[in-house]
Amino acid sequence: NSKKFILIDNNIYKKINDNLKKLNLKKITIIKINFSEKIKTFNNYFKISSLLLKNRIDRSSIIISIGGGTLGDLSGFIASTILRGVNFILIPSTLLSQVDSSIGGKNGINSKYAKNQIGTIFQPKLVIIDPIFLNSLPMREIKSGYAEIVKHAIINDNKFFIWLEKNYKKILSLRNKEVIYAINKSIGIKLKYVQNDEKEKLTSSYSRSILNFGHTFGHAIETINNYNPNLNHGEAISTGMILAAKVSFEIGKIKQNELERIINHFKNCSLPIFNKAINKSNFFRIMINDKKNYNGKLNLILLNKIGKAYYHKNFDISKLKNMPFFSK
């Protein structure tokens, strides 16, 4: 008997509007939202929260988010804070949100200083993952999600990485058997880290922060590009992972053939491996704003080998700046 508030990506609403009309709309409020990374702002948080309050949301209400990762992040942040917390359900519609952002309870909005700096860890009551949503995605969005799948393999499972090297074309073409296997495998890897360290307090190889491989660089790239729609999250993280792998090689952690395997796989999948943002003067300053860093010290997630990432504390930023791929 509780009120339901559906926050839905406008593009998805257009596709499933006929189905939504069959629901008992007396107890359902539908709020359509135009998809963009730029929706994760204080302004949108306030607007949507005010609309929910105007429609008399209460603590028995349920917020249902239907859309990609950015909408899920915003919806979860609203659910965790409005009335000091109401139940919410995630129905992720993109490959990236199905394999990554819908799992683990991280929610938040962006600031002008860095991405996802204002947020909560608040678990949804239910996550419903249906690969049928993927059929309407453009290839660019599928590749963006694939970047997170391959990240999970690189940080934790060499055998999975080998499997991806053999099967990536089937995943990108959305062959059902391989897609379901890759989604399940990715979720399993992510859940392992989340269950070990839900609140991201550890600074060891068991830390949830390991899941942020490539993200310190990638988030800085997104911030410098002002969350431009011409650069999506997966593309930025793809470049970030290549940078993290190169740093791992430069400090003698991974072998050249491992670096080449990673780079070649990204090239084979047409995932980006460079972004000119890394040559901007404020790149390293923005990196320092990353949530993993303490007291102005840079902490990075790097690789000991494919399938084994580790937490590198207090990385010397001057050493990083002098690496050949950062030097102008």
Please list the active-site residues. 84, 106, 148, 190, 200, 208, 212, 215, 219, 233
Give the Cα separation of 191 and 136 in Å (integer). 27
201, 224 Cβ separation under 8 angstroms: no
As a whole number of angstroms, the distance between CA 239 and CA 181 comes to 25
Q: What is the largest CA-CA distance in the chain?
A: 62
Token pair, residue 226, equals 């002002």
Nearest to 236 by CA among 247, 246, 224, 248: 224
DSSP H helical segments within 251-302, as ranges? 256-268, 283-288
- Quote the tokens at residue 318: 């001057």
CB atoms within 10 A of CB 26: 6
Contact of 270 with 143, CB cutoff 8 Å: yes
DSSP 182-246: HHHHHHHHHHHHHHH-TT----STTSGGGGGTTHHHHHHHHHHTTT-TTS-HHHHHHHHHHHHHH
What's the rounded Cα separation, in Å, for the pair 20 and 240?
39
* CA atoms of 317 and 261, how far apart (whole Å): 26
Helices 69-81 and 42-54 pack at an angle, to 10 degrees, of 60
**Which residues neighbour 46 within 8 Å (Cβ) at sequence distance 6 or greater?**
none
Residue 212 structure tokens? 């942020």
